[in-house]
A and B are shown apart, each in its own frame.
Chain A
Amino acid sequence: DTGVSQDPRHKITKRGQNVTFRCDPISEHNRLYWYRQTLGQGPEFLTYFQNEAQLEKSRLLSDRFSAERPKGSFSTLEIQRTEQGDSAMYLCASSEGASYNEQFFGPGTRLTVL
């Protein structure tokens, strides 16, 4: 296993379009997280899955955002009707077992909304 992977690495879209990002966690990891990172800031939590259950959604995740993790494997993050303020790096992380275990991060998907 080579770690957490994310696809695409870069996405440029026009305002109002829908985009979908994919995250493949490390195979034995049951916990999956999405974070958003804007320039000059630390990552901000978006949502958390334990297996296929979405246990928390941040207030940052408006109704235009939806995340899924079917069968507790890969996860997708969809943004509908994108806005320029959605431009950011979207990071996925996964971990196994206890909550204090290391979260392994993917390389991120950089979204630019024109």
Chain B
Amino acid sequence: AQTVTQSQPEMSVQEAETVTLSCTYDTSESDYYLFWYKQPPSRQMILVIRQEAYKQQNATENRFSVNFQKAAKSFSLKISDSQLGDAAMYFCAYLVEEGGSEKLVFGKGTKLTVNP
């Protein structure tokens, strides 16, 4: 079964600095999709960035980028120029597709604090 591991329960960063959140996953598939979702306090979860495993190029969305290492099954999120609004829980997720169904498998999350 596919699993997702986030080894950092909490991280902190100074405003305007860069932080990297770690994620590893386990799968026997060769083609799959990975996601980072952000869940601000008392607000709904929103997609930050998505990576297709068959693409060699790392995904980038403005200040957010990933370091996707397929052989190592690693999918880290880098946030550049951190802003106070980046403070949230961040969840790494793997899309499981089987038997006509689909679902996201999430890690336990990393709580990011941004210090002014």
Interface residues of A (CB under 8 A from B): 3-4, 31, 33, 35, 40-45, 48, 50, 55-56, 58, 91, 99-100, 102-103, 105-108
B contact residues vs A (CB 8 Å cutoff): 4, 33, 37, 43-47, 50, 52, 91, 93, 95, 97, 99-109
- Given A100-B95, A105-B46: A55 and B100 within 8 A (CB)? yes
B47–A102 touching, CB < 8 Å: yes
- Tell me the nearest residue of chain B to A108, going by C-beta: B44
- CB of B106 within 8 A of CB of A43, answer yes
Docked CA distance A40–B104 (Å)? 17
Chain A positions within 8 Å of B45 at CB level: 43, 91, 105
List 19 extra interface pairs beyond A33-B104, A45-B105, CB under 8 A.
A31-B102, A41-B108, A42-B93, A43-B104, A43-B106, A45-B104, A48-B101, A48-B103, A55-B100, A55-B101, A56-B101, A99-B33, A99-B97, A100-B33, A100-B52, A103-B47, A103-B104, A105-B46, A106-B44
- Report the separation of the CA atoms of residues A50 and B100 in the bound assembly, to the nearest whole angstrom: 9
Q: How far is the CA of A56 from the CA of B100 in the complex (A)?
A: 9
Chain A residues closer than 8 Å to B93, beta-carbon distance: 42
Determine the residue in chain A with the shortest Cβ distance to B43. Answer: A107
User: Is B50's CB under 8 angstroms from A42's CB?
Assistant: no
B108 lies within 8 A of A40 (CB):
yes
Minimum CB–CB distance from B6 to chain A (whole Å) comes to 8
